[in-house]
Copies of this chain bind each other. A is one copy, B any other.
Amino acid sequence: MTPESRTFDPAGLLRVLDGRYADVRQEIRAVMRRPEFAPVVALPTAEYRERVLGWARALAAEGLTAPGFPERYGGRGDPGANVAGFESVAFGDLSLLVKFGVQFGLWGGAVQQLGTERHHERYLRATASLQLAGCFAMTEAGHGSDAQELQTTATYDPAAGEFVIVTPADEARKEYIGNAACHGRMAAVFAQLIVAGENHGVHCLVVELRDEQGTVGEGIRIEDCGEKMGLNGVDNGRIWFEHVRVPREALLNRYGDVDADGVYSSPIESAGRRFFTMLGTLVQGRVCISGASVSAAKTALTIAVRYGLRRRQFGPEPGHEVPILDYRTHQRRLMPPLATSYALHFAQAELVDRFDAVMRRDDAPERERRELESLAAGMKATASWHAAHTIQTCRECCGGAGYMSVNRFAALRADTDIFTTFEGDNTVLMMLLAKGLLTDYAADFGELNPVGTVTFVAGQAVETVIERLFARQIVQVIGDFVSRGDDDDLLEPDDQLDLFRWREGHITASAAQRFKRGLDDGHEPFEVFRAVQNHAVSVAHAHMATVLLESFQRAVAGCQDEDLRDVLKLLCDLYALADLESDRAFFMEHGRLAGPRCKALTREVNRLCNEARLCAGALVDAFGIPDEVIGAPIGLSDAGAAAD
């Protein structure tokens, strides 16, 4: 009950968290503390959109919009700093974040990654300065996740040397396109590229939507998507193309080109591989949304933890009310997500390092790129689900005060909700990751390994079953009781990691086995896929849990300051044990943990929650979100609350 009895220097922890991109993070924090960036509540949509555009322009004026662009186009040639900047913008208004992402990341990124020098020269500088606003027009009403099946066509007309872009059916309209309803002048439009009657698959072309006066071009129809659950400061629209002509040079031609004679060529022969290579270069979007999700969760936790420390209710006797964060139910709701946010922070930092390394070299091996894409997919899904759940929990933990818009949860919740959908639906992304993991597994083992087959013992003699299944479990139980009362080994990093890796290996092996058995039994591949799909998503979840623990453990081991290392170790333990506790059914089902051991897990999580509560204020201070950016009266720092 002693408040904040475990002390450490939050500023020191902030330096650890800011890491190698401390400079850009601090620059953005400084700009966003200005009064004109104060959070807004219930601005009418039209006004809100203009406000957001103004904010984006203010960031552009400071040269903070596109550190990932080459220096000669107004950037810093630093892909990692680009993501770090985005993560910092994400502490503020999330319509600004998404506007920023659409303009500099998606539109700018498409030009940078899919275009060649002629496009860079023409568009990148104007994009970074926001002189030229652009859209990223991939999704269609009928095809979101399955982008390879987009229906928009771009047919080459050799006589005119132009492409003709057509929306062949209403469901092929471009849908939910940010920047399209009002501000976008250009669009990177994805379409099936048809040359001399042959479809070369989805490519991207630059199309002028509006001229300098804002007049929509001939053959183009744009409709406002109207009100959304959140992000109403972003002007999403729908676009139809009715025989819209663009010059041959409008094709972003890094991975496929049409020459003056109307001959198609590409450095990548397979249309499928070409499509996925093109998509792969757009990995930045997922890395960014992952980081932004972590930032949004940090904002919510900062507000809820500070409220939980100040708000008192009930107590041992009238007049002695206690802070609600002293209640175990409250600790149980807030401390594990706080620990997981730290875990995600360190995993995100490593993801950004890998992203930075890959993006800096044109010749990064394909396997490295593929692994980056898989990891980005898994991180985006994991982090955005975490943000959604955490923000919701934080809102509930602030009761009625949390429901008032001024306290930020209304916007945080509504704005981040779509993070689980855009830049790839989370479930689809987890399938993508699972596919990679299962493919690797098959490659590593040639044929399926008997590891993990203890789950498929039907038909064997009962004796064998008990022998197999229980030999391990009984040993475990005896071990549990011999060491009972001493739960210290739950805190051994290697033991924790063993459990995480064992789980991942076991789930992967058994999912792979199911696939194989389904195919061996002569079922249609798609039917086998449908039947194993849920199991495959579990593979991805288990993998991401391991990734997070590994990153967190490396961060703990690498921390030089002893006090900070202790507090990070505490959070790492809480992350690991809370995860194991929530999934203990799996470990018991497979004889890896016995009941008493699982109960020890629960005790230990309770204890760690209480430990974390003792430094909870400092743990959220260390996120370094300025009071001016937090905005919420209930969520200000002690200094800010005193001044208020």
Binding site for B on A (CB under 8 A): 41-42, 44-45, 139, 143-146, 149, 175-176, 225-230, 313-316, 318, 321, 326-330, 332, 388, 392, 395-396, 399-400, 402-406, 409-410, 413-414, 417-418, 420-422, 425-427, 431, 455, 457-458, 462, 465-466, 469-470, 474, 477-478, 481-482, 484-485, 524-526, 530-531, 533-534, 537, 584-585, 588-591, 595-596, 598-599, 606
Q: Which of B226, B455, B525 contacts A41 (CB 8 A)?
A: B226
B477 touches A458 (CB 8 A): no
A588 contacts across to B, CB distance below 8 A: 585, 588-589, 595, 598
Shortest distance from the beta carbon of A428 to any chain B beta carbon, whole Å: 9
Report the Cα distance A330→B481, complex, angstroms.
Answer: 42
A465 closest partner in B (C-beta): B481
A426 contacts across to B, CB distance below 8 A: 396
Q: Which of B144, B228, B314 contacts A399 (CB 8 A)?
A: B144
21 pairs, A vs B, C-beta closer than 8 Å: A42-B226, A44-B44, A144-B399, A145-B314, A146-B314, A226-B405, A227-B404, A228-B404, A315-B526, A326-B530, A327-B533, A328-B530, A329-B431, A413-B417, A466-B477, A584-B589, A585-B585, A588-B595, A588-B598, A589-B599, A590-B595
**Known contacts A395-B417, A413-B229, A477-B466; is A606 also within 8 Å of B313 by CB?**
no
B227 touches A410 (CB 8 A): yes
Report the Cα distance A290→B145, complex, angstroms.
Answer: 36
B388 touches A229 (CB 8 A): no
B466 touches A478 (CB 8 A): yes
B404 touches A225 (CB 8 A): yes
Report the Cα distance A143→B421, complex, angstroms.
Answer: 39
A399 contacts across to B, CB distance below 8 A: 144-145, 421, 425
A481 touches B455 (CB 8 A): no
**Known contacts A525-B316, A599-B455; is A534 also within 8 Å of B329 by CB?**
yes
A535 closest partner in B (C-beta): B328
B42 touches A45 (CB 8 A): yes
A400 touches B176 (CB 8 A): yes
A584 closest partner in B (C-beta): B585
Report the Cα distance A525→B316, complex, angstroms.
Answer: 8
A582 closest partner in B (C-beta): B585
Shortest distance from the beta carbon of A11 to any chain B beta carbon, whole Å: 32
A414 contacts across to B, CB distance below 8 A: 229, 410, 413-414
A591 contacts across to B, CB distance below 8 A: 595
Report the Cα distance A570→B260, complex, angstroms.
Answer: 65
B326 touches A410 (CB 8 A): no
A327 contacts across to B, CB distance below 8 A: 530, 533
A587 closest partner in B (C-beta): B585
**Known contacts A146-B313, A399-B425; is A595 also within 8 Å of B584 by CB?**
no
B478 touches A462 (CB 8 A): yes
B524 touches A316 (CB 8 A): yes
Q: Which of B149, B403, B418, B477 contacts A417 (CB 8 A)?
A: B403
A462 closest partner in B (C-beta): B481
Shortest distance from the beta carbon of A169 to any chain B beta carbon, whole Å: 14
A533 contacts across to B, CB distance below 8 A: 327-329
A427 contacts across to B, CB distance below 8 A: 329-330
**Known contacts A228-B410, A229-B403, A525-B316; is A474 also within 8 Å of B466 by CB?**
yes
Report the Cα distance A326→B240, complex, angstroms.
Answer: 30
Q: Find the residue from A175, A226, A313 having the highest chain B CB count within 10 A.
A: A313
A477 contacts across to B, CB distance below 8 A: 465-466, 469-470
A144 contacts across to B, CB distance below 8 A: 313, 399-400
A317 closest partner in B (C-beta): B526
B526 touches A316 (CB 8 A): yes
A413 contacts across to B, CB distance below 8 A: 229, 414, 417
A400 touches B422 (CB 8 A): yes
Report the Cα distance A227→B534, complex, angstroms.
Answer: 41
Report the Cα distance A503→B485, complex, angstroms.
Answer: 25
A316 contacts across to B, CB distance below 8 A: 524-526
A229 touches B400 (CB 8 A): no
A526 contacts across to B, CB distance below 8 A: 315-316
A470 contacts across to B, CB distance below 8 A: 474, 477
Shortest distance from the beta carbon of A50 to any chain B beta carbon, whole Å: 17
Extra 16 A-B pairs, beta carbons < 8 Å, given A144-B313, A175-B400? A41-B227, A42-B226, A149-B321, A229-B403, A230-B410, A327-B530, A329-B534, A395-B417, A396-B421, A396-B426, A399-B425, A457-B481, A458-B484, A588-B588, A589-B595, A591-B595
A407 closest partner in B (C-beta): B229
A530 contacts across to B, CB distance below 8 A: 326-328
Report the Cα distance A227→B409, complex, angstroms.
Answer: 12
Report the Cα distance A313→B265, complex, angstroms.
Answer: 30
A406 contacts across to B, CB distance below 8 A: 226-227
Shortest distance from the beta carbon of A331 to any chain B beta carbon, whole Å: 9
Report the Cα distance A481→B42, complex, angstroms.
Answer: 61
Report the Cα distance A590→B481, complex, angstroms.
Answer: 15
**Known contacts A42-B227, A400-B421; is A534 also within 8 Å of B606 by CB?**
yes
Report the Cα distance A551→B540, complex, angstroms.
Answer: 38
Shortest distance from the beta carbon of A189 to any chain B beta carbon, whole Å: 18
Q: Which of B41, B313, B595, B596 contacts A143 (CB 8 A)?
A: B313
Report the Cα distance A425→B396, complex, angstroms.
Answer: 9
* Cβ-closest 5 pairs across A and B: A229-B410, A316-B526, A585-B585, A589-B595, A227-B405
Shortest distance from the beta carbon of A143 to any chain B beta carbon, whole Å: 7
Q: Find the residue from A44, A396, A418 having the highest chain B CB count within 10 A.
A: A396
A392 touches B388 (CB 8 A): yes
Report the Cα distance A633→B596, complex, angstroms.
Answer: 52
Shortest distance from the beta carbon of A187 to any chain B beta carbon, whole Å: 17
B534 touches A405 (CB 8 A): no
A422 contacts across to B, CB distance below 8 A: 400
**Known contacts A145-B313, A606-B534; is A403 also within 8 Å of B418 by CB?**
yes
A175 contacts across to B, CB distance below 8 A: 400
